[in-house]
Amino acid sequence: MSTTQHLQDFVTQVRRDILRQVHQVNSGHPGGSLGCAEYFSVLYQDVMEYSKNFDMDGKNEDLFFLSNGHISPVFYSVLSRSGFFPVEELKTFRKIDSRLQGHPTTHEGLPGIRIASGSLGQGMSVAIGAALTKKLNKDSHLIYSLHGDGELQEGQNWEAILYAGSKGVDNLIATIDYNKKQIDGATDDVLPLGNLKKKFEAFDWKVIELKAGNDIAAIKGALEEAKGLTGKKQPVVILMETEMGNGVDFMMGTHAWHGKAPNDEQLEKALSQNPETLGDY
């Protein structure tokens, strides 16, 4: 178990990594990445059981699938700082000949990535598939997945949500990054998602509402609760309410930083709010 101090330091460093990655190539998605820094940190530093010697099949390990692949900066930062590949490699984010593509991929052989994502709405199905194989292999480890809330507008999700609920895929813990924002604005303005809790429950899922989705202890609590609900013939979803751009004051409370990189001055300001903890790459 990681200490709270370690996790806080880890999150702060991940935020720096996110900001510096997108700044150095003037592209990428800082908003959603920052909003999920705590989730990824808790998951990889505290909750999941996995081997750092990456193996695609991941037998006897917990596996994670990122469906909203555009928040790759947070994924790359946490994977590298969890030992999957050298932290130095974050320098290559979105550059030519890099394993750190704009959206995560298996194609370049980056350890820690098990599926390409970016075209939205596909990760839930993939996570279900991996969960079914775990059952066939009599492997009691769990599948974790993360999805954007706006991403739920993609119809494939609902095919997958129906399947997992109807067929009782109960070794799956999906989390929705419920920041209520997407590129064009608030999800309520673009295409309202309605009552997500009721929707998932209507599809026979167990629903955990996590109101403090940027609070380390609360995330830990929700994931532990979710683990306790697995193996009971129902899939589990955590509706994790996050703040897009969390940890950088001028990026919070707006969708403006969904897919925009900070300039030099903005970077400086953002980094000053998140002093170096574990060492910059």
Judge whether 28 and 69 are in contact, CB under 8 Å: no
> From the CB of 148, what's the least distance to other proteins, in Å?
16
Triad 43, 153, 104: Cα angle to 5°:
45
> From the CB of 221, what's the least distance to other proteins, in Å?
28
Query: By C-beta, is 81 or 94 nearer to other proteins?
Result: 94
Q: In 10 A of CB 218, how many CB atoms?
A: 17
Judge whether 206 and 32 are in contact, CB under 8 Å: no
- C-alpha span between 142 and 63 (Å, rounded): 7
- C-alpha span between 223 and 237 (Å, rounded): 10
Query: By C-beta, is 59 or 232 nearer to other proteins?
Result: 59
> From the CB of 100, what's the least distance to other proteins, in Å?
16
Query: By C-beta, is 211 or 233 nearer to other proteins?
Result: 233
> From the CB of 141, what's the least distance to other proteins, in Å?
10
Q: How far is CA 193 from CA 148, 165, 246, in A?
A: 12, 19, 22
Residue of 149, 164, 135, 181 lying closest to 68 (CA atoms) = 149
Contact set with other proteins (CB under 8 A): 56-59, 63, 65, 105-107, 114-119, 122-134, 136-137, 139, 155-156, 159-160, 162-163
> From the CB of 238, what's the least distance to other proteins, in Å?
20
Residue 185: both structure tokens together? 């604005």
Query: By C-beta, is 176 or 267 nearer to other proteins?
Result: 176
Query: By C-beta, is 105 or 246 nearer to other proteins?
Result: 105
End-to-end CA distance of the chain: 25
> From the CB of 161, what's the least distance to other proteins, in Å?
9
Query: By C-beta, is 46 or 139 nearer to other proteins?
Result: 139
- C-alpha span between 222 and 212 (Å, rounded): 10
